[in-house]
Structure 1
Amino acid sequence: MKIAFATTDNIHVNQHFGWCKEFYIYEIIENDYNFVKSVDSSIEIEDEVDKLTYKIECLEDSDILYVQQIGPKASRMVQASGVFPMQASSENEKIEDILKKIIKMKANPPLWMKRLLVNDEQ
C-alpha cells in the first residue's frame, strides 16, 4: 500500500492538494513503512481541470492521498483515478503518526481499506 503525502517538510501533512509543490510517497509493507521517494509537482497550470489532472498524475501509483485540505471537485477526481483521498485530522499532523495509525487499522480495516488490501494481494 502506497501513501502520498502533501507536505513541505516530509514531517507534517501541511499542504493543500492543489497547491502542493512536492508529494512524498511512503509504502506500508506488513507492519512497517518506508519512504519511497518525493515527486515534484511544482508546474504551475492555469486551467483547473488540467492542474488537478497533473497533480493526480504526480501521485503515480499511490493508493491513498493524505492532505491538509482538498476541494470537492479535486476529491472526486482523485477518487475516480483510484486513489483514496484523506484529510489530516489536525493542522500539521505528523506523517509518522498517520503511518502508524494506518498499520494499526489494517488489523480491522474499514471498508475503503479492505479494497486496497485486496488489490495489494493481487
Structure 2
Amino acid sequence: MGESTKITVEGSSPLENAIKVAFATKDMQSVNAHFGGAKEFVVYKVSKEGFELSEVVKTDTEDMEGDDKTDFKVKALKGINIMYCESIGGTAAAKVIRSGINPMKVQEPRAIEDILKELVVMLKNNPPPWVKKAMNIQTKNDPRLERWTVE
C-alpha cells in the first residue's frame, strides 16, 4: 500500500489569515510534476505578510492503481487550500475540488518562489472571494454583494 509522510517545519513567526498552498515538485524548487505522478508536495503558508515553509508531504503511490492513487493523494493533502501542478486529469481535478482544494495548473515548470511572491501581492491587493473565504476574511465593500441582498 502507498506511504505518506508529512515532514512539518516549525515557523518562525505566525502568519495571520494564512492559506496553505501545495506545489507538486520533483526538486523542491519548481512546480514540475503531474498531480498523479508527484511523489512530493512542498507546502507553504502564505499571507499578506509573506510566506514560510510549512511541511513537505511525501507520497508514494507506485504500488497503487487508478482511483486509489488519487484518493490517497487527496487525503494526504487534507487542509490545503490551493495546489499547483503541471497537469491534472479531469477525474482527479473533480476529486481535488470536492475535497476543498483549488487545483492550479502551470503552463510550464515555474519556480515556486515566484508563485509565492505573486500570491503575496495578490493577497495584499484584492484577492478573489474564494481566497478571502479560505483566509476567513469577511468580504466588505464588494458591489457584487448588493445583488444578493434581500430588501
Q: Note if contact 2:41-2:58 (Cα within 8 Å) is conserved in structure 1.
A: yes
1:109 matched to which residue of 2? Answer: 127
CA distance in 2, matches of 1:36, 1:14: 19
Q: Is the partner of 1:9 in helix, strand or coil?
A: coil
* Highest RCO, 1 vs 2 (Cα 8 Å, sep ≥ 6): 1
Off by >3 Å, runs of 4+ in structure 1: none
From the CA coordinates, give the structure whose radius of gyration is larger: 2
Shift of residue 60, structure 1, vs aligned partner? 2.9
**Percent of aligned pairs with the same residue?**
38
How many aligned residue pairs are there? 117
- Partners of 1:67 and 1:31 lie apart in 2 by 24
SS of the aligned residue for 1:108 comes to: coil
**Cα distance in 1 for residues equivalent to 2:79 and 2:35:** 16
- Which residue pairs with 2:97 in the alignment? 79
Any stretches of 5+ residues in structure 2 without a counterpart? Answer: 1-18, 138-151
| Aligned with 1:35 (options 38, 53, 67) | 53
2:135 partner SS: helix
> When the two structures are superposed, what TM-score results if normalisation uses the length of structure 2?
0.73
Return the match for 2:111 from 94, 109, 113.
94
State the Cα distance separating 1:118 from its structure 2 match: 2.0
Any gaps of 5 or more consecutive residues in structure 1?
none
How large is the RMSD of aligned CA atoms in angstroms? 1.4
2:144 matched residue in structure 1: none
